[in-house]
Chain A
């Protein structure tokens, strides 16, 4: 069997496995320059055989660039890369794949129209006489999935699975490719806890088989659960590489941003005002019988697992989906919200879950995105007043410290955290009474997180109310004045801030989900 054929199951005795402290990859003074940016400034990094090496850093610190260099998607500008002591160029994805380097990306990078099995075998199809052995591939893929404990159908089209399940397919796909170095870029951002556990057991198993793992995550507790060593990037430079036993969350956060941990979940004491929103027995597609209130100056949190019905609830509140029962009152008067435009007119705005798909026009410029909701205001006679547009846009860029080459830069050129700032900024430009934030800090670096929390406080002080959805319990726990727990489309509990501990809330959220925790 040729060496690049996938191996499906049982740990094959790898020559490298015993040799655990020898470096697999060494980066020496690696630089990467793009037009206008110096993304990596002389990185020295050693990845040892068979270790789980976490890499952390704020968005824009250079993590994505580093991965792209390791996977051959970008070529380094200068420096040396050694692979098992031998110098390599890493000029193309093919070269990286040939060495046994694979990656599982943050956003699933697979072909949604192909089947699970076809994705797993993409580029390494099994053939006989020039034709594909389709049945054999489906069987092999199914065997791999079953063996890993992922109960997913190999013959199903990928786009019939949830994002979390697709992420697991991506991981299984990488695992079966006879990999030596496997890079996970924030794989758990869209995973439910049960799926995260499956992924972690896969990662630990690969480590036992001698695979070197690079693990990138903003969730520090995951890193302490999983990693052997951790490296911190800041502004394109490597700050430190440490053994996980010799460091602490507080130290890592200081390395990343020079900011201490209790400042991250920034929360100010703000007086609650009058009743702003009252929802009574609202039902709609994916959720049933939800009642809650939001006061001016209050953050109401919605916590639950992915699929619990929280996004469906706010989408209905925002007029994207029709309600089937219940009443909504704003500022004491019943309102009927039949469309997004109705919601915005009534002073409700939504910062959606997926900034790429729902929040931004990625191939238009930063200025356009920031001005999009207010073009009506900017064009009183039908013509857009360019001066007013520029002023509104520049105000948000400087207020929010959006790191961009300028308002004419295209939105996709910005890092995740800065893209999120644009989505928030466009609604700050517009103004509203009730702000709904759906997973506002997913894939956002610590610095931007703090900034987002400060914006929350600012909005509250000005008399707005906030509904915030988050799957990250410490965040909603620390920030919210009232916390509603959702499970399987139902509102199962509500607590005031600090009323109960994390364990109670987590228990409410997962009770019937059969999770192992």
Chain B
């Protein structure tokens, strides 16, 4: 566009070095920030670096990470999914109702998991066929699905879930909480899909330049269906796990988690303009957000202040990230 770069075609630029080094740095600085906070919290409190607290931290991180990974898929296409918190609420109530009705656990989980593809497909349909912006169609689901959950439970809490179901979230395997394993079960296939298959490449292509993708023979609609179904399915899965973790079914579970998941994705380096993001980012972002909440609790910080601190940190982290990007 402008003339600010010499355009002799013979020159051999080496920007890819800088880029990969930079990607590595971003992960590193986020990790560095985490470590810093962790060290500070271990020194400031006696309870932070205990097995019990660490396990607790990992459990909450896992739930948010699963949702944030799905959210990142949507964000890379330049979209947004505001419904994930509501899906968590709905799926936690549905699985609780089914379990109370005597369904075996596997069946209750399998049936509940259908919510993901159905809601995700509805979003993609709204975007592609009805021409609605992602913000609007998922905003509609955000309130609509909450309403369905409240209607199903009459606003009441479902208690008395089977022990095996409730105990799952408390178990550990090889010293790592079962919920963290569940996050890995989501993250690894998500990583392979996004970074090593052509479908992953099309997700980036649609976010970068949908017209170019279309003219290259990429199916935009399949890609959109893929990301919204992935996001809704991740949220459904997280909802089932949340029901196990809190051992009750409440329709209002997961309120404002959509914002947490967006924050985690963006802290992890995703761009709301699309085409930028990866799978590790939302995991680290969730870990950071959970650490902030956890640390503030341990430090006995007024919960109202916690919210303000979390907000300020989002601004700070994303601003620092953009400064780094500009410097490149």
**A interface, CB within 8 angstroms of B:** 71, 73, 93-94, 97, 103, 109-115, 118-119, 122-125, 127, 130-132, 134, 150-153, 155-157, 160-165, 168, 192, 194-195, 198, 285-286, 305-312, 315, 353-354, 357-358, 488, 513-514
Contact = CB atoms under 8 A, between A and B. Distances in A.
Contact of B7 (A97, A164, A309): A164
Contacts of A194: 8-10
Contact of B197 (A73, A110, A131, A155): A131
Contacts of B1: 163, 353-354, 357-358
A226 B14 CA distance: 33
15 contacts: A93-B215, A93-B216, A93-B217, A110-B209, A112-B275, A122-B201, A122-B213, A131-B196, A132-B197, A152-B9, A161-B13, A162-B6, A168-B9, A195-B9, A514-B10
B204 interface: yes
Given A131-B196, A153-B12, A514-B10, A111 B217 contact: no
Contacts of A152: 9
A150 B208 contact: no
Nearest to A105: B215
A125 B9 contact: no
Given A122-B216, A131-B196, A160-B19, 4 more contacts: A112-B209, A113-B275, A157-B16, A308-B3
B9 A198 contact: yes
A311 B9 contact: no
A106 B156 CA distance: 61
A156 B15 contact: yes
Contacts, number: 141
Contacts of B213: 111, 122-123
B276 interface: yes
B215 A115 contact: no
Interface size class of B (residues with CB under 8 A): 35 or more
B5 A307 contact: yes
A179 B12 CA distance: 28
B215 A103 contact: yes
Nearest to B275: A113
Nearest to A4: B217
Given A111-B209, A134-B196, A315 B2 contact: yes
B277 to A, nearest CB: 10
Given A115-B16, A153-B12, A488 B6 contact: yes
Interface string B201-217: 10011011101111111
Nearest to A150: B9
A195 B10 CA distance: 9
Contact of B212 (A111, A124, A165): A111
Interface string B180-192: 0000000000001
Contacts of A161: 13
B198 interface: yes
A311 B7 CA distance: 14
Given A131-B196, A165-B7, A165-B9, A93 B214 contact: yes
B308 interface: no
Contacts of B215: 71, 73, 93, 103, 109
Contacts of A306: 3, 7
B275 to A, nearest CB: 4
B11 interface: yes
B270 to A, nearest CB: 12
Contacts of B14: 153, 156
B8 A153 contact: no
Given A73-B215, A113-B204, A514 B2 contact: no
A276 B317 CA distance: 49
A132 B198 contact: yes
A155 B204 CA distance: 16
A152 B10 CA distance: 8
B4 interface: yes
Contact of B207 (A113, A132, A134, A195): A113
Contact of A125 (B6, B198, B204, B276): B198
A398 to B, nearest CB: 32
Given A93-B214, A93-B217, A114 B201 contact: yes
B13 A113 contact: no
A235 B212 CA distance: 28
B34 interface: no
B218 interface: yes
Given A122-B216, A307-B6, A113 B201 contact: no
Contact of A192 (B8, B19, B218): B8
Contacts of B209: 109-112
Top 10 nearest A-B pairs by Cβ distance? A111-B208, A160-B15, A123-B216, A113-B275, A125-B198, A311-B3, A123-B217, A113-B208, A162-B7, A122-B216
A305 B8 CA distance: 10
Q: B2, B15, B192: which has the most chain A beta carbons within 10 Å?
A: B2
B56 to A, nearest CB: 36
Contacts of A150: 9
B205 A114 contact: yes
A358 B2 CA distance: 10
A111 B7 contact: no
B16 A286 contact: no
Contacts of A310: 3
A124 B204 CA distance: 15
A488 B8 CA distance: 11
A302 to B, nearest CB: 11
Contacts of B276: 113
A286 B4 CA distance: 6
A312 B209 CA distance: 28
Interface in B1-53: 1-16, 19
Interface in B240-292: 275-276
A470 to B, nearest CB: 13
Contacts of B207: 113
B31 to A, nearest CB: 24
A198 to B, nearest CB: 6
Nearest to A170: B212
A419 to B, nearest CB: 16
A165 B1 CA distance: 11
Q: B15, B204, B215: which has the most chain A beta carbons within 10 Å?
A: B215
A327 to B, nearest CB: 23
B6 to A, nearest CB: 4
A472 to B, nearest CB: 15
A309 B9 CA distance: 17
B236 to A, nearest CB: 24
B153 to A, nearest CB: 41
Contacts of A162: 5-7
A132 B13 CA distance: 26
Contacts of A308: 3
B8 A111 contact: no
A111 B15 contact: no
A340 B5 CA distance: 22
B72 to A, nearest CB: 15
Contact of A112 (B4, B208, B214): B208
Given A162-B7, A311-B2, A513-B8, A109 B13 contact: no
Contacts of A358: 1
